[in-house]
């Protein structure tokens, strides 16, 4: 079976754990609102709240989103929602963070 490696910015790629870790440092304690906008349920967000410190909670929320929505859990979707929320500083950081992470699909 061949492994297909695509750039993190491939809109069809699944976000890697390394990139989720990077993103989790940018979002902060407003993550429950983002989680709701990403389509996670209250039950899922309650599970996230019990998963450790703030950065781990944000990572877990993003991981849960990726697992729930698979091919629709893209960087583009995340950026659109962050921008719609008016989190311009977070949006700018996501856009401007150098990326050399890869996704294995």
Each residue of 8-45: pLDDT tens digit?
434 445 678 888 888 888 898 999 999 999 999 999 99
Cβ atoms of 12 and 76 within 8 Å: the answer is: no
- Which helix (H) or strand (E) covers residue 9, if one does? none
Q: Which of 19, 18, 6, 5 lies closest to 75, judged by CA?
A: 19
Residue 96 binned pLDDT confidence (cut-offs 50, 70, 90): confident
**Residue 10 structure tokens:** 């491939």
| Residue 2 maps to a domain | no
Non-local (6+) Cβ contacts of 27 within 8 A are 34, 58, 62, 90
Number of domains in the chain: 1
At residue 86, the pLDDT reads: 95
Give the domain range for residue 35. Answer: 17-97
- Rounded Cα–Cα distance for residues 100 and 81 (Å): 23
| Residue 9 maps to a domain | no
**Whole-structure pTM value:** 0.78
CATH number, domain of 51, equals 1.10.533.10
């Amino acid at each position: 079976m061949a492994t297909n490696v695509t750039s993190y910015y491939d809109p069809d790629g699944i976000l890697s754990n390394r990139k989720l870790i990077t993103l989790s440092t940018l979002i902060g304690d407003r993550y429950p609102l983002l989680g709701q906008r990403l389509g996670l349920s209250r039950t899922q967000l309650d599970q996230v709240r019990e998963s450790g410190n703030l950065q781990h909670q944000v990572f877990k929320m993003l991981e849960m989103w990726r697992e729930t929505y698979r091919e629709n859990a893209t960087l583009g979707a995340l950026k659109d929602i962050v921008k719609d929320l008016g989190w311009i500083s977070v949006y700018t950081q996501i856009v401007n963070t150098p990326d050399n992470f890869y996704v294995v699909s």
